[in-house]
Structure formats: structure tokens, C-alpha cells
Chains A and B, each alone.
Chain A
Amino acid sequence: MEFGIVELSRLQFAMTAMYHFLFVPLTLGLSILVAIMETVYVMTNRPIWRQMTKFWATLFGINFVLGVATGITMEFQFGMNWSYYSHYVGDIFGAPLAIEGLMPFFLEATFVGLMFFGWDKMSKVAHLVVTWLVAIGSNFSALWILIANGWMQNPVGAEFNPMTMRMEMSDFFEVLFNDVAQAKFVHTVSAGYVTASVFVLGVSAWYMLRARHTELARRSITVAAVFGLASAFSVVLLGDESGYSATHSQKMKLAAIEGMWHTEPAPAPFTVFGFPDQQARETHYAIHLPFMMGLIGTRSLTTEIPGIADLVASAETRIRSGLIAYDALMHVREARDAADPAVLATFEQHSADLGFAFLLRKYVDDPRTATEDQIKAAANDTVPTVWPLFWAFRFMVGLGFGFIATMAYFFWRASFRQMVCPRWALHLAVWMIPAPWIAAEMGWFVAEFGRQPWTVDGILPTAMSVSELSVTEVALTLAGFVTFYSVLFIIEMGLMLNYIRKGPFQDVDETEAWNARHKDRLAGRRNADAIATPAE
């Protein structure tokens, strides 16, 4: 690949976005887990639950700050590196980003300070409300961001305005209730819940292995396993919902993920394993599960899912239609208000395919002068590189099922085996910690790499979206981000590990005294119900 401005900008965006998403999932999930723990504390008044709240909140805080800091880059990078994109779709895409700032982000950021500093400044219930507001704010942030992202995948509720040379919103509620966005939202927050559950489980398991802070660890494992099991089911089911909505909005992405080169008779089989070959348009050594793809993708036995070859053919048709739109647009742009109504009507008729004509910009300045070969090449460009999508997707799904199994196991241990876990299981839980992050990054990779060659599917090609910058400028900032983010990452990890090793350090005496009394009571009364110890 030649590293021009487009590639560098993409690399920078991918890097900063994936880095941002190292912190987001833990924020989403841990905010809720901390709020749940604090709720138990307020309800039972047991100091151990306050200690748990404060301990996990400390780790939450270290993570949260980098999520916020790296999120700023995301909010500004569209204008910095993708200025034509910003002009072209800002009318629609900007709105959810601004609402995210107005509604949830302001909420979480204003209250997160009180969450850490307000313990002695307000009543227990008031503090609990503050903690929940932070959790709700974090999660609603994800909603608005995914409405914005969902629109890039499935651009509904908007049309092109030839007077302003950009897309403009025609129906806000279509943008809001875009089914792709809704499916993505629930899938993404569930992934965050799984991440936090695996994290809490793993860290607690590590304490159990060392026989440290076992009271805190046991209870944390229970909370994480219950919450994690529900979330792991949700993330897989809602992932399936995403796949289903991709069937009608992003057929090419779906076909690429499946390595489905040719349309198969319905219901199509699912390829579990194989080596996709872009040149030959076939998947070598493929192992198929009959019917599965048809069932997942269409939830029917009779609907066909189009293969890549057919989709390329239909892209070619749309490029030709887009050229008609482009030609009409050039006339309308010159004539402005005086445009011939017939030309305007032609434009309206073909404007949905305008973006396909822009694919030719890669080859010629004026798409109307493109040769037949260039049109064919542009149609071929609509196929993303298949093998990374194919593999990343399977890796993610495999991990997803792994989370269900792990959480189910610990749920069973916590519920029916008095929380006694064999050492191998605890070791496994510790080693599992990085897995949800890998799965989440793979998921984003599939969603965004699979969208190529478009920034907005079918509307605006990536190559056209970039700012008019020099390679030097983007190379400089890319190098800056890499250096800067690496240093922050090392510091972050260092602090996280440091605080995990240190263990809970707030309210230690009070909690230990209570734990000791609690144990005495349980010992004094054989078969005593652990729940029955009075709160103090």
C-alpha cells in the first residue's frame, strides 16, 4: 500500500479510535458494577460493600480519565483530518455528537467529581444517586455515539442538497431510530458489561489465589458472575441482531465477513473455517455448516443472501446511474436557482447513486470521463479485503461463546457451590482478563474495515473524505499520537497494576472489624444464614 494522505489519515483514525476503545468498555461496565455495589451498601449498610465500591471506583477512575481524554481526540479529529466528510455529512452526523455532549457527557463528567470527592459531603442516598447518574451518563454517551456511527453504516433520514453540495437531514427520527444504531448500541454496551465483569472476576480471582482480601473478592466474583452471564448472553444475541440488520443495509460487509463469493441457494451455509482468496474469489478448505447463514442473516429458509460477485455487478449498475446524477448535478450547480426542472428531476431520480460516481474520483478528476475499465475497477473497489474480516469476525464470536462458558461456570460455583472455586478456574479467570478487549477491538475492526471503501456507506468514499493536508502534517501528528499514547498507556497500566497489588486501602479498619464480628456470629450459630448478620 502506498502511504498517501488517505492511508495516513485512516491509520491515525483507526489507531486513536481503537486506543480510545481500550478504556470505553471498562467505563461502561464498571460504572454499572460500582453502582450496583453501592446500592447493596446503601440497602444493607454493610461496610464491606462500601469498601468494594470505593476500591473498584478507584480503578474505574484511573480508567475513566483516559477514556475522557482520548475521547476529545475523537470529537475533534473529524474536522482536523476529515474536513470534507465533516462538510458533507456534518448536518446529520454532527447532531448526535453534539447531543452526546449536551445530555449524557455533561451529566457523567459533572457528577464524576462528586462521586470521588463527595463521600463526606452528602447523604448516602444522595451519593448513590450521583454514582448512578455517572453510570447512566456513560451508557447514554454510547447511545449517541452509536447513533452517529450507525448512520455511517446505514445512512437513513437524509438527502443530498445540490445547493449546498452536502447531505442534509430530512427526518431526525429515522436517524434516531435507525435499527442498525439500536442493535449496535445494545451490542456495544453489553460488550462493555462483559469486559468489566471479566475484569472484576479476574482481579478478584487473583486475590483469591493469593488469599488476600477474600471477603471483597468473593462478593465481587458473585456480582461479576451474575452480571457477566446476563451480559455475555446479551452480547452474543445482540451481535446476531447486528448481523441481521446488516443483511438489508450492508450486504457487501456481510458477504465479506462470510467469505461468500457467490450467491448460494437459500438458506445459505455458514463457513466456519477456511482461507478466503480475494484474487480467485473463493474460500479454500472451507468447512460449511448447512443452512446456518441463511437462518442468521435472513431468519427465513427462502430469502437469498447475495454473494460478492453479484454485489459487484450491482455496484457497476449504480456507478452508471451515479454518473447520470453527477452530470445533472454539475448543471444544477452552475445554474443554481435557474436550473432546468427536467435536469433537476433527473438528478433527483439518480441522486441515491451519486456516491458511486465519486468512487471514480480515485481514477479521474471528472468521473464523467471515466473509461469502461475504470468503471469496472471502481465496482471492484467496493469489495473490502476479505480475509481480515473473515478471521477477525470468527475470533470475536469464538471469544463471545467463551465468555458465556466462563461466566456460566462462575455463576454455578457462586450460586450452588458456596463460592469455592478450584485453582485452575481462578488462574483461568486471571488469564481471561485481556480477552474481552481483544473481542471488542475485533468487533470494531469488522464494523469499520468492513465499511470500506466508504466512510458513509454508499454515499461518500473514504478517499474523498480527507482534509487537504500535507503528508508531513499527518505523519507528524501520527507520530505524536503514537508516542504520546504509548507513554500514557504505560503510565496507566503501571497505576492500575499498582493499585490492584495494593488492594483496598480506604475504610480498612472499620471493614475488618465488621468482617471479624460477622465471622464470629456465623461461627457462633452453626448453620447461621450469612445474610442474617445485622447491619451496623
Chain B
Amino acid sequence: MILSELLSYETLRVIWWLLLGVLLIGFALTDGFDMGVGALIPFVGRSDVERRVAINTVGPVWEGNQVWFILGGGAIFAAWPPLYAVSFSGFYLAMFVVLAAFIVRPVAFKYRSKRDAAAWRSAWDWALFASGAVPALLFGVAVGNVIQGVPFHFTDDLHSIYEGVWYAKFIGLLDPFSILAGVVSLAMLVMHGGAWLTLKTEGPVQRRARSIGSVAALVAVAAYVGAGVWLALGIEGFRIVGDYATGGPSNPLHFQVERSASWLSAYADRPWIAIAPALGILGGLLTFAGLRAGREVSTLLFSKLSILGVISSVGLTMFPFIMPSSSDPRSSLTVWNSSSSHLTLFIMLVCALIFMPLILAYTAWVYKVLWGKVTEADVTENSHSVY
């Protein structure tokens, strides 16, 4: 395959690092409002009809949205195999909880409407709530752990070993900084769900979504700023030392890494990245204002910008680190040592260039077909065909 030489290994790695970000952000923007709506259901809907209105705003699209999550898993597997191997096995029980949520959620959407009994429906409402709120929280917790470094090391064979006994591996994830990061992601997705419901509903459901969503926007901004201050004052960063090749073989043990004073030194080296946190904060505040004022389309857009800013700020701050190791820094996974081979990255890029535009195009078409508000009349008149 001579074609793959068209792009250097280093370039392909940076592109795939960007695509990793695109997938995470795509997931947060689409499935994010599903999770947000799930977390809001018990609070925005007092009656069954109101809850069904909320559910049916995401009813026809959650399946497609959830694919961002699955594609994220597949793309990490294909483009960053060591990251896939270390993180999924390292966060084992937390991953199981997330999996359980992502299994329950589709079932809850689909099966809730199949019976009329109040107990049946209320059980699925709480399933929707938990399967929206718990992963939203855990994704942030995971990011919080990654920022601080995760206790794992590689053997000479590149077996990855995550240190600690099993319960400590799970409970240990919930340190104060990571919980704060979890609050950021939960609040952010609740804000996003609120913005979505504002666009797609009217009446009491919209009113409640606006008021809860605006509180969530403020919480998200405050927690995000708090995490930034914490990062500046109390958390060490990582840096690669010595000679290293950005286009060399993907073997973490070929690198030397040590702790640095702070992650935030990245802002001295690359001042332009400050645009990301600025976007995160500004977007959050504008979402707050938009929800208060009852603007619909622009508020959802601001919410999206805020999520874009927050997620990309994490990646840009840590670059080139993806998953640093706190117990054995030289095992840290970076953009330069944990990718697939040159050929695989190239082939996957070709596939992504063909299919990503198609996905965006037909997803946009589906949203266009479904444009408009979901009303109480819609769900009561079409009881057979909607959730």
C-alpha cells in the first residue's frame, strides 16, 4: 500500500487524535441530549402524557444518537488499541455500570409504552432517569481520573496492569476532583437536555425544562471554572522528556515521561488553545440567558458550543497525552505511542472521509423530517405509533 505514504505517520496520528475528539463531541452533542432528557424526565413531566411528550422528543432519534457511543468504542479500538485495552479493562466495573445503563436505556424507551399499567411506566421512567444521569456523571469522573493520571503500567510484553484491589479500583475513581469533573459533565448534559426540550416542547414541560436547564447551565459553568482553578493550584501534569520520535513505532515503553508542575503550562506554550475554555464558559452563560429568555434555536446552538469548548479544552490541554499513568509515568499513552499502524490509520481515515459526510447528511435529513414541536395532542392521538 504505497498510497498510505501520502500522509506521514505523525500527521495521521494527529488527525486521528482530532477524530477521537470529533467522536466524543459528536456523542456528547447528540446522545448527550438523550441522556439529559432522561435525567430530566421525572422532573419535567408530572403526568404520563407530559412524560411521554418528553420521551417522544428523542423517541425517533435516540437509536442513531447512541451509535456515536458504539462508534466511539469501535474507533478507539481500531485507531488507538492500547488506549482501548488499558482504559476499558482498567475502569472495568465502571464500564460495566455504563454498559448496563446503555442497555437499559434503549429497552426503557422501547418497552415503556407497550403497557398501560402505572407501575410499569413509572419503573421505566426511573430506568430512563438512572440510565441518563449515571453515565453522564461517570463520563466526567473518567475524564477527571485521566487528567490526574491513572495507576497502570505495562509489562515488557505490553500486558497492561491496573493497580489496586478490585473495590479500590472502582471506589478509587471517585476522588474529589473527579467527582467535580463528573458534576461538570452531568450538569452540562442536563443543560443540553433542557435546551433540547425547550426547542421541541411547549407548555408546562418546556417551562420546567427551561428553569431546571438554566440552573444546570450555571452549575456547569461554576464547576468547570472550579475545576480549572483546582488544575492550576493542586494538580501536577505530565511531560515527555528526552528524544522521541513522533512517527516511530507505537510502543509506550520506548518513551520517557515525568511529572510537570501543571497541565496549564500548555497555555503558555500554545496560547491560542485558550479559545476552548473561553467557548465553554461563554457558551454556558449564553445558554443560561437563552433559557431564561425562552429563545429556542439559538439556545440549543449555544449549548452545543459550550460542550464543544469544554470537551476540546481537556484534549488540547493534555496534548500529546491521552491517558497518562500516575504510578509508572513512562507507561503513559500519548498520541505518539499508542496508535494503530500507519496503514490501519490511513485506511480508517479513508473510510471516515467517505462515511462521516454521509452520516452527517442523512442525520441532518432525519432531523429535518422530524422538525417541529412534540405536543400533548401528538402523543394522545397517535398512541399506537409513538412511545
Question: What residues of chain A have their CB less than 8 Å away from a CB belonging to chain B?
Answer: 61-62, 65-66, 68-73, 75-76, 78-81, 83-84, 86-87, 90-95, 97-103, 105-107, 109-114, 116-122, 161, 163-166, 168-172, 333, 336, 467-470, 472-473, 476-477, 480, 484, 488, 491, 495, 498-499, 505-506
Contact = CB atoms under 8 A, between A and B. Distances in A.
Nearest to A477: B96
Contact of B71 (A105, A164, A165, A491): A105
A529 to B, nearest CB: 34
Given A477-B93, A480-B96, A171 B1 contact: yes
B74 interface: yes
B70 A71 contact: yes
B373 interface: no
B294 interface: no
Given A72-B103, A90-B81, A467-B89, A106 B355 contact: yes
Contact of B251 (A101, A116, A164): A164
A97 B162 contact: no
Contacts of B161: 468
Interface in B369-387: 369-370, 382, 384-386
B77 interface: yes
A118 B103 CA distance: 25
B158 A87 contact: yes
Nearest to A163: B249
B340 A75 contact: no
B157 A165 contact: yes
A116 B362 CA distance: 17
25 contacts: A65-B111, A69-B102, A69-B104, A72-B103, A73-B103, A79-B73, A80-B95, A87-B160, A98-B74, A98-B79, A99-B355, A102-B71, A109-B64, A110-B61, A110-B362, A113-B370, A165-B251, A168-B343, A336-B254, A469-B89, A470-B165, A477-B93, A488-B107, A498-B114, A506-B384
A327 to B, nearest CB: 15
B106 interface: yes
Interface string B348-367: 10011001100100110010
State the 8 A-B residue pairs at the shortest beta-carbon distance, nearest first.
A90-B81, A79-B88, A94-B78, A113-B60, A110-B64, A101-B71, A94-B77, A163-B249
Given A68-B106, A468-B159, A100 B74 contact: yes
B96 A113 contact: no
A129 to B, nearest CB: 11
B34 to A, nearest CB: 12
B69 interface: yes
Given A97-B74, A495-B111, 15 more contacts: A69-B103, A76-B73, A98-B71, A101-B71, A102-B355, A107-B362, A110-B359, A111-B64, A111-B362, A118-B369, A168-B344, A333-B156, A468-B159, A472-B166, A473-B166
A480 B348 CA distance: 35
Nearest to B250: A164
Given A69-B106, A73-B103, A336-B254, A94 B60 contact: no
Given A61-B110, A468-B159, A470-B166, A109 B351 contact: no
B77 to A, nearest CB: 4
B67 interface: yes
Interface residues of B, number: 76
Interface of B: 1, 59-64, 66-67, 69-71, 73-79, 81-82, 84-89, 92-93, 95-96, 99-100, 102-104, 106-107, 109-111, 114, 156-162, 165-166, 169, 249-251, 254, 340-341, 343-344, 347-348, 351-352, 355-356, 359, 362-363, 366, 369-370, 382, 384-386
Contacts of B63: 68, 109-110, 112-113
A99 B70 contact: no
Contact of A122 (B87, B359, B369): B369
Contacts of B249: 161, 163-164
A462 B382 CA distance: 52
A512 to B, nearest CB: 16
Max chain A Cβ within 10 angstroms of own Cβ: one of B92, B250, B386 = B92
A424 B43 CA distance: 55
Given A101-B75, A164-B249, A170-B343, A95 B384 contact: no
Contact of B85 (A86, A92, A118, A498): A86
Contact of A94 (B79, B93, B160, B386): B79
Max chain A Cβ within 10 angstroms of own Cβ: one of B60, B102, B109 = B60
A103 B106 CA distance: 21
A164 B339 CA distance: 10
Contacts of B92: 80, 467, 469, 473, 477
A224 B269 CA distance: 66
A488 B160 CA distance: 34
A86 B81 contact: yes
